[in-house]
C-alpha cells in the first residue's frame, strides 16, 4: 500500500485531503470527478487522469471502480464529492477520500490540469 497523504477524517467514513497532498500522491488514488461532463470543460478544468462519473450515477456505476485502491472524489468545491465519498464509504469502500475545496482550491494553488 502506498503512503497516503495526511487527511482529516469525517464521521461519514471518508477523509478530506488537501489538493497539494492529493497531487503529490496522485498515483496512490483512483480519481473520480463527480461533476457533470460539461463542467469538466469549464474554466476550472479537471485534474489529470480523472474518471468522470456524475454524482447521480455513482450508485449505478460504482462496480466500475477499483475497490482495492484508495478512491479520491473530486468536484467543484468539495460538496458533491463529499456526498459521493459518503455513499461509497457507507457501501463498503475501505479507503475513500474527498478533495477538500474541490477544483476551486486546486486552481487557487495553480496545480496542473489535463
List, by residue number, the catalytic residues: 75
d(CA 108, CA 100): 12
Rounded to whole angstroms, the Cα distance separating 40 from 75 reads 9
| Cell numbers found for residue 110 | 495553480
Question: Are the CB atoms for 97 and 16 separated by under 8 Å?
Answer: yes
Which residues sit opposite 8 in a β-bridge? 16
Amino acid at each position: 500500500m502506498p503512503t497516503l497523504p495526511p487527511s482529516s477524517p469525517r464521521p461519514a467514513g471518508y477523509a478530506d485531503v488537501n489538493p497539494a497532498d492529493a497531487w503529490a500522491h496522485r498515483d496512490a488514488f483512483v480519481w473520480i470527478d463527480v461533476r457533470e461532463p460539461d463542467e469538466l470543460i469549464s474554466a476550472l478544468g479537471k485534474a489529470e487522469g480523472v474518471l468522470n462519473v456524475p454524482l447521480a450515477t455513482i450508485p449505478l456505476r460504482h462496480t466500475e471502480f477499483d475497490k482495492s485502491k484508495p478512491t479520491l472524489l473530486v468536484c467543484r468545491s468539495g460538496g458533491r464529492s463529499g456526498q459521493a465519498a459518503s455513499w461509497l464509504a457507507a457501501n463498503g469502500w475501505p479507503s475513500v477520500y474527498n478533495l477538500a475545496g474541490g477544483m476551486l482550491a486546486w486552481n487557487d494553488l495553480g496545480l496542473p490540469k489535463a
